[in-house]
Amino acid sequence: MKRVISSLVIATALVGSAIQPAAARDRHHHDDTGRAIAGGVAAGVVGGLIGGAIANSGPRYVDGPRYVEPAPRCWYEDRDVRNRYDGYHIETVRVCE
């Protein structure tokens, strides 16, 4: 909604600056080619702003939430480990949940 309102404000400012008052129009005796070009440019800008606002206001498709397996929690502990002589010794072992 903000884009539409800002587009309309900008369009009003552009069209208002393109249109001259009647007193300034009567002072010059030229053809209106410049005004026609300015009007065409202003209409194109206004149409582009409104068309862009309408095109960007459509629904946005977003993937639903996905379950991500959390990384395993790991730490190091000192544990008794059996050796090849049928005995035990203490060794630091990585333990994960």
Q: Assign 3-state DSSP to the chain and report helix, strand, coil percentages, each to 5.
A: 45, 20, 35
Q: Please give the pLDDT value at position 20.
A: 57
According to the model, what pLDDT value does residue 29 have? 59
Q: At what angle do helices 33-55 and 2-18 cross, to 10 degrees?
A: 180
Segment 60-87, tens digit of pLDDT: 777 777 888 888 899 999 999 888 888 9
Give pLDDT tens digits for 21-61: 555 555 655 666 788 888 889 999 999 989 888 887 767 77
pLDDT of residue 79: 92
